Structure 1
Amino acid sequence: DYRIRWFNTAAGSMLGIDYPRDLDQRLVDAVAIPGLEAWIESGGVDPLSDVTSPKDADLHLSLRLIPYAEGHALLLVRDVSQLLRVEKMRRDFVANVSHELRTPLTVVHGYLDLIEPEQIPEFESIIRELRSQSRRMTQIVEDLLTLSRLDAEETLPMSRVAIRPLVTTLHRDAEGLSRGRHTISASIEGPHDLQGSSRDLYSAFSNLVSNAVRYTPVGGRIRIVWTSSAQGGRLSVIDTGHGISPQHLPRLTERFYRVSTSRSRETGGTGLGLSIVKHVLQLHDAHLEIESEPGKGSTFSCVFNPEQLLLPELVSEES
């Protein structure tokens, strides 16, 4: 039951425990942190992040439990207040800069669209390149704003997300992006809909679909597959693209991380799509699984818990 055997001064200060009063007390009785008991009972495999100190509401802590002998564990307590403040400053800076860039980029893009490259042959290639880079910068700004919004959200407005029309839309989007260069199919294997934010789930899924189209060579195959059962749901995008080396997989959801810088720029990628996918799924208590093999292709799967699934609504028939 994890009774307190020893603690140093820093732990006492951050957790609000005193010597010798709290020696041999159960940790969950001596330390008033919401969710602490459930975290310990679950084994404390992952750190308990951003918890408020029972002694000082302005102090934010990270807890880590390390078993070191039978029936014993070491609780590491870290003050992460400064890290969180710096992270908030970073988020605010990115959001503010993105907002400031949005308007001038829109103006630049608008004026470039007014110019007909064919009317100025000597500058045709330059104008087309300016248009391409303007669109890319605009997309980066939009993606940064999306990430800033998701960073600020603790919960999302949830409603029924009907899977069949969503998969149909994703299929249509993929065909529009591909323009006949790939073989694209979609299938639904399971009766369930999702409980979630329709807008954000579409944003996450469409990022996976557009990535598959961008990075799959002409003539390749792309499949969009929804499967669901009592154990949970899974939206998978499967392609026969270039594939990704194992050393890159753990970092794919980092912002601006690129497996191939030149290929990403050629295809118009912003380097933010998988970060958006990760954030959206976290807000749905879901996660992203990635399987890939160089030269054979990749499978990106959004995995949902059973609690996020809904059986289809019954439609009553009028006699």
Structure 2
Amino acid sequence: MKRSAARRRTKLFGLLRAFRDAAVALPDALVAVDADYRIRWFNTAAGSMLGIDYPRDLDRRLVDAVAIPGLKEWIDGGGIDPLSDVTSPRDPELHLSLRLIPYAEGHALLLVRDVSQLLRVEKMRRDFVANVSHELRTPLTVVHGYLDLIEPEQIPEFESIIRELRSQSRRMTQIVEDLLTLSRLDAEETLPMSRVAIRPLVTTLHRDAEGLSRGRHTISASIEGPHDLQGSSRDLYSAFSNLVSNAVRYTPVGGHIRIVWTSNAQGGRLSVIDTGHGISPQHLPRLTERFYRVSTSRSRETGGTGLGLSIVKHVLQLHDAHLEIESEPGKGSTFSCVFNPEQLLLPELVSEES
């Protein structure tokens, strides 16, 4: 029995040594912390990425040993979401992504990954899209201009062809403009913020919807709450108008479209509610992906570019807001832009002249 127990211990120690050696050899940084977030163990990569050293930093609190801005707030918040794109305290050229993984009672594992190469590739992609879109804008403008000079009625045999060429030229121009907008939003870390008055904005959206609908739908707008928004007027209008134009495009003739602003102490919400075809649940998580289409044929018929909801998502992210989508086939859809209380402003008081 003693020999058997000794063999089991030897085998267990061998397995533990193998796991430790494998963890040490990983290219990702691993840091084991206790309930007080004191460092209990870390691998070699953690030293090069986070600037911690053995044995100096053993038993030190993670926030004292690792000089990363925002780390304490992230940990105090529970580290539920990854802390992305932070600069390494050891090497400013390294960009890191941090995840906190609980693995036992009162213990957690900090996983740190070098995402520098991914960010470089992403920047190359953004630059490529922006450059190509910019180069396409001029020739498309020229083509569209010449097509507008041609009167289809003067060439009856080519009338349908010319009208189709005009339609596709406008659609390609809109795709290029949307791509340029997305490239600009991708490159922005913050937007110029100012007061965005909700009442005139909702009035403008209502008027735009009626212009797009041309009497084919019943359109209404309402405001429930006193607050304005703190944000970029141009970009918020772009996001909201994308939701309104989508509702008009995909709602059958005779349908009802509502634009509703509600606000209170918990936050604000601008909703666009339609009685359109609705969307199946499997499509909802992917709606904000670029060029994702629920129905390719319907999008082409209505002139959609497949980029509108991507623009909405990016604009809202830059306002610390998010998009909520509720939809059911045959019962319409509700697209809501949800804002935190920090983005709300009470109306300015207008002094009365005596």
Deviations along 1:178-225, one digit per CA (max 9) or x if unpaired, are 011111000000001111110000000000000000001111110000
Deviations along 1:137-181, one digit per CA (max 9) or x if unpaired, are 000000011111111111111111110000000000000000111
How many percent of aligned residue pairs carry the same amino acid? 97
SS at match of 1:315: coil
Displaced runs of 4 or more, over 6 A? none
Deviations along 1:67-114, one digit per CA (max 9) or x if unpaired, are 111211111110000000000000001111111000000000000011
Larger radius of gyration: 2
Q: CA deviation at 1:25?
A: 1.1
Could you say which residue in structure 2 is the equivalent of 1:315? 350
Rounded Cα–Cα distance in structure 1 between residues aligned with 2:105 and 2:152: 74
SS at match of 1:22: coil
Deviations along 1:22-45, one digit per CA (max 9) or x if unpaired, are 111111111100000110110111
Rounded Cα–Cα distance in structure 1 between residues aligned with 2:280 and 2:270: 23
Rounded Cα–Cα distance in structure 2 between residues aligned with 1:265 and 1:110: 22
Rounded Cα–Cα distance in structure 1 between residues aligned with 2:82 and 2:282: 24
Q: CA deviation at 1:21?
A: 1.6
Give 1:97's match in structure 2, choosing from 129, 132, 143.
132
Rounded Cα–Cα distance in structure 2 between residues aligned with 1:12 and 1:289: 41
Matched, 1:138 2:138: no
Rounded Cα–Cα distance in structure 2 between residues aligned with 1:248 and 1:274: 13
Deviations along 1:4-24, one digit per CA (max 9) or x if unpaired, are 111111122111111222111
Rounded Cα–Cα distance in structure 2 between residues aligned with 1:12 and 1:298: 51
Could you say which residue in structure 1 is the equivalent of 2:298? 263
Bigger RCO (CA 8 Å, 6+ sep): 1
SS at match of 1:5: strand
Rounded Cα–Cα distance in structure 1 between residues aligned with 2:296 and 2:222: 33
SS at match of 1:25: coil
Q: CA deviation at 1:115?
A: 0.7
Q: More deviation in 213-222 or 19-28? A: 19-28
Listed as ranges, the gaps of 5+ residues in structure 1 are: none
Rounded Cα–Cα distance in structure 1 between residues aligned with 2:256 and 2:165: 32
SS at match of 1:227: strand
SS at match of 2:312: helix
Deviations along 1:225-257, one digit per CA (max 9) or x if unpaired, are 000001110000000111111111111111111
Q: CA deviation at 1:118?
A: 1.2
Rounded Cα–Cα distance in structure 2 between residues aligned with 1:58 and 1:191: 47
SS at match of 1:155: coil
Rounded Cα–Cα distance in structure 2 between residues aligned with 1:161 and 1:82: 38
Matched, 1:71 2:106: yes
Rounded Cα–Cα distance in structure 2 between residues aligned with 1:23 and 1:315: 60
Rounded Cα–Cα distance in structure 2 between residues aligned with 1:118 and 1:4: 79
> Under a length normalisation based on structure 2, what TM-score does the superposition of the two structures give?
0.89
Give 2:242's match in structure 1, choosing from 197, 200, 207.
207
Rounded Cα–Cα distance in structure 1 between residues aligned with 2:86 and 2:171: 39
Rounded Cα–Cα distance in structure 1 between residues aligned with 2:254 and 2:302: 16
Rounded Cα–Cα distance in structure 2 between residues aligned with 1:68 and 1:241: 46
Q: CA deviation at 1:314?
A: 1.1
Rounded Cα–Cα distance in structure 1 between residues aligned with 2:283 and 2:351: 51
Rounded Cα–Cα distance in structure 1 between residues aligned with 2:285 and 2:252: 24
Q: CA deviation at 1:318?
A: 1.2
Q: CA deviation at 1:123?
A: 0.8
Q: CA deviation at 1:121?
A: 1.1
Matched, 1:304 2:339: yes
Could you say which residue in structure 1 is the equivalent of 2:21? none
Q: CA deviation at 1:119?
A: 1.1
SS at match of 2:40: coil
Rounded Cα–Cα distance in structure 1 between residues aligned with 2:83 and 2:107: 18
Matches within 5 A, 1:91-170: 91-170=126-205
Rounded Cα–Cα distance in structure 2 between residues aligned with 1:284 and 1:121: 51
Rounded Cα–Cα distance in structure 2 between residues aligned with 1:316 and 1:63: 51
Give me the CA root mean square deviation.
0.7
SS at match of 2:42: coil
Aligned length: 319
